[in-house]
Amino acid sequence: MPTSGASTELNDEDYERVNWLIQYLTDDLDSWLSSSIACCDSCYDDYVSKWPLAHTRKGGLQYQNMPAEAFYDGSRRVRGFLSETDFLRLLPYIACPNCGDSIGPNLFAFELPFDPADFEEDLRSLGDIARLAPFLVLTNSFAQAVKTEVEQLCSSIVADLPSGHTFRGRSVDAGSASATDFGPPPRSKTREGRYNHAGRPALYLAETSMTCWEECRRPHPPFSIATFVFTRPVKILDLSEPDEITEVMAALMYSNLAAAPSDGEGWDRPEYVLTRFVADCARIAGIDAIQYSSTRPGSGASLVLLDGSRFTDSVRITGIEIFPPRKGDYPRRRATA
């Protein structure tokens, strides 16, 4: 919609043009990126802090932003409607859907699979109780909805033998590493993790060796990656494609309650309370593993085998290799917004 000042600052003709511009800009973004405008320069940080997965996932905000001029060059309907001069003159009269201020000079294209306004208050109150009294999280109505949804999702999952490989990295030299190095830590050394409680080991695996390297915070040598195959059928709750699950679960997985990157080494990990809650719901429903989007920028999916004590009868290591394969092959750091 137009900004609040558009009707008083523009003449009737330009105000009408702004309304058409909104329509054509929406059409062009939809046909180009299957997205709409998510936020603007002034509220980008706020948006990303609320929906971190919208920033980090493939095809997310980090990759789908462009200067207004670049958008104009690639647009079809907008170019056919306005000169670049008029486009840049009228663009500031379009209101950002997140904060209401005028958008520009950059366009941030992304579309959550739900209306964020429907969930922001629920997620805020859920975060409050998770930080204040995590054992009482189920007194929150949104947490109850999450539990119901996880139970429903889990009820239709059948055990299956996953095909392909998964990966796990350790700061060890491949030449002297053994399978034991790549198993879960012992109970006495297990800290709380995104999907496990302290003292309850789980096995975290990555979809690709690159995801693994990113999840391990781009470690320096020596670093090696073990390749795993599953050896028994397992029930996997797949939350790695939030666009394909229910709105309640998608909102949780996109939110800072589930997708906040954790770089701290301390014991205070409020960002893990809700994911561990989801893991508990899944455990009770008989689920063996959860697949989820990596919280590292541009990375793929990760998978956690919830019961680390079943490591030896669930997976087998088929190889251990130093990573990256040759010295100097470190992947280049991706540009960040």
What number of CA atoms fall less than 13 Å from residue 233's CA on the CB side? 5
Number of residues that bind Zn ion (CB under 5 A): 6
Residue type for 259, please? A
Instruction: Confirm or reject binding of residue 3 to Zn ion (CB under 5 A).
Output: no
Q: Which of 37, 40, 234, 249 binds Zn ion (CB under 5 A)?
A: 40
Kindly tell me which of 96 and 202 has the beta carbon lying closer to Zn ion.
96
Kindly tell me which of 108 and 277 has the beta carbon lying closer to Zn ion.
108
Q: How far is the CB of 56 from Zn ion (least distance, A)?
A: 19
What does the radius of gyration of the chain's CA atoms come to, in whole angstroms?
23
Applying the rule CB under 5 A, the residues between 225 and 244 that interact with Zn ion are: none
Q: Residue 94: exposed, middle, or buried by beta-carbon count in 10 A (0-12, 13-18, 19+)?
A: buried
For residues 73 to 112, the per-residue mask of contacts with Zn ion, x marking binding by CB under 5 A and - elsewhere, is: -----------------------x-xx-------------
Q: Which of 18, 29, 38, 43 binds Zn ion (CB under 5 A)?
A: 43
Helices 120-132, 247-254: inter-axial angle, 10-degree rounding: 60
Q: How far is the CB of 4 from Zn ion (least distance, A)?
A: 13
Q: CA-CA distance, 91 to 107, in Å (whole number)? A: 10
Q: How many CB atoms lie within 10 A of CB 140?
A: 17
Per the DSSP assignment, residues forming a β-bridge with 166 are 228
Per the DSSP assignment, residues forming a β-bridge with 294 are none
CA angle centred on 271, ends 192 and 236, rounded to 5°: 70
Q: How far is the CB of 1 from Zn ion (least distance, A)?
A: 13
Kindly tell me which of 21 and 43 has the beta carbon lying closer to Zn ion.
43
Applying CB under 5 A, which part among 39-47, 189-197, 233-241, 324-332 lies near Zn ion?
Answer: 39-47
Residue type for 40, please? C
Residue ranges in contact with Zn ion by CB under 5 A: 39-40, 43, 96, 98-99
